[in-house]
Structure 1
């Protein structure tokens, strides 16, 4: 993987990376909201521009992935550039998974998925994930200027979503000293930058530091096994259609509070990164300072949905530092549903 990181990089670096990869026809993928940025990137490709497909959707529904793959075939594309957040990059990964096309990622949020070989697809209310090196972007172009149009509230939830990758990497069964250092540093960078962005959304320096943190946190996710937090969020997103970043922001403090007794080293790293004795409570308060939704009920989950989420999550094994039975899952989700402080 190659990484380009500088303000204004999207104007020239995507074309340079396509040339470096030997690509002659690049299809640019995005969601509807990022269509203007995607078209600007496509225009920068010059003769290598194979068109723009702007139909990315959250949680990558299978029909959306199939339509994008068909668009790539019709355009005779030999590569794709995904411009946007996790949905656009997830769609690019789905096309890479199906067709084997090289992918260039141009993130416009702090999701961090551009640094991972993890793909996700949703079908019939079930979100499946997997790992395959073919979906790992060949090049990533980080341009802090592209994040300036992201509203402060979305900036906040997107950044806490990235922090969730680092938190789980710290207590993953395949954690390593290097990944733990990256996780601590990524958390520190994001937790410091996000309140500055909320106070001054046009501050490019804070945007750049948040993007740097997201890079580190995403790389942590790519190097380790996902645990209970991601499992619950995948269920809530795939089964109930809850928004990805906001769901992570709400659920993370409660899962961390549950896992903390079994993960003392992870808690110690988070105490250093967040400057607090209670990382779970600090992440809950951070969400409040950033104007994020406070409860799953606010996102549209019904009380009746909790039992269904518990049943779905309990049916699939996952790594976690502490055993979590159905009653534990129900307690975590109930606290997140009500929006009360963790613990």
Structure 2
């Protein structure tokens, strides 16, 4: 018998490039995906196929207009709109939405937007087990995962449950054409973070590895084009395709240091979600680099010889913040953030140590690029 993650051919010839012979477990997540341009028109048929007839439409306040357009498309199937979705899925917002849900007796949730709206839909599904249809307008990727992060009392807690996995996701490239450039860049790098961590997750496997590298390559190639030509449909399609794959990766394997730090900074310091992922990603990858040489070599094939620096440059050239200070992180909060990140131990390929973590956060706070010294 072979132990988990032990090479299957340790006594045979050296493995070929690519799959390294590790044992693994792979679990495919259920869900229906409709991808294309103009696919929003299929929403009524998808709701009907779920056997539902009373939809509550979810959005943020800023996307109320899109929610109203969805309601018009659904006609009599739409029985209400809740436009209070907020970052980090505050429990108090969920409680308010639950009251609306009960009043209108909805039998399906239709979420249009990014991670905030998807998170609210998941939080409601966790409590009601109602089916969800998600219409992503960003590259968040959370619509493909059974993961829910909720904030209460200044702390963000994450859980995984099949109850929160959406039943249907309709990707319509047309819904992303108006996504502002800065939000496109941070949302895209947020998605890339899911795929990067999937490559070195404790339960990584070769199926997810293939999707992760494809996703990282697709988004990293599309973002510079979107920066120059925001209405470029081909680049938008490629970015959305990559985001879909990134979401699958996050939903199939575990998380490590990067997501722990981002959940800490977002939930306890109120930092914006995608922007925080954008700032932390290069530094978290640099921290783990000594423990994952094989992953770094594969990332180099799609990002260039220094993957961590390439991700930092992608953000900088996209014109988005590269420092935590620019996101509102107080300088005197770094010690607390370090302590919170070390609380409730979790798996990471490199051991978590207070001093190197504090140095990582200090570099991210200042907006300095990831450095070799940080990886020593």
In 1, Cα distance between equivalents of 2:317 and 2:224: 7
**Secondary structure class of the residue paired with 1:248:** helix
Answering whether residue 104 of structure 2 is matched by residue 75 of structure 1, we say yes
Q: State the match for 2:367 in structure 1.
A: 339
Q: How high is the TM-score relative to the length of structure 1?
A: 0.98
Answering whether residue 133 of structure 2 is matched by residue 104 of structure 1, we say yes
Alignment of 1:1-343 (within 5 A): 1-10=31-40, 12-274=41-303, 276-343=304-371
Q: CA deviation at 1:270?
A: 1.0
Q: CA deviation at 1:24?
A: 0.9
Q: CA deviation at 1:261?
A: 1.0
In 2, Cα distance between equivalents of 1:235 and 1:296: 13
Task: Give per-residue Cα distances to partners, 1:185-232, cap 9 Å, x unaligned.
Answer: 000000000111110111111111100000001100000111000000
Task: Give per-residue Cα distances to partners, 1:29-49, cap 9 Å, x unaligned.
Answer: 000111111111121112211
In 2, Cα distance between equivalents of 1:111 and 1:331: 28
In 2, Cα distance between equivalents of 1:302 and 1:134: 37
Q: CA deviation at 1:294?
A: 1.4
**Secondary structure class of the residue paired with 1:88:** helix
Task: Give per-residue Cα distances to partners, 1:282-323, cap 9 Å, x unaligned.
Answer: 000000111110100111111111011111111121211000
Q: CA deviation at 1:75?
A: 1.1
**Secondary structure class of the residue paired with 1:73:** helix
Task: Give per-residue Cα distances to partners, 1:216-262, cap 9 Å, x unaligned.
Answer: 01100000111000000000000011000111000000010110110
Q: How high is the TM-score relative to the length of structure 2?
A: 0.90
**Secondary structure class of the residue paired with 1:304:** helix
Cα RMSD between the aligned structures?
A: 0.7
In 2, Cα distance between equivalents of 1:199 and 1:235: 33
* Alignment size in residue pairs: 341
Give the number of the structure whose alpha-carbon radius of gyration is greater.
Answer: 2
Q: Which runs of 5+ in 2 are unaligned?
A: 1-30, 372-376
Q: State the match for 2:23 in structure 1.
A: none
In 1, Cα distance between equivalents of 2:353 and 2:99: 42
Q: Which runs of 5+ in 1 are unaligned?
A: none
In 2, Cα distance between equivalents of 1:272 and 1:307: 36
In 2, Cα distance between equivalents of 1:332 and 1:14: 44
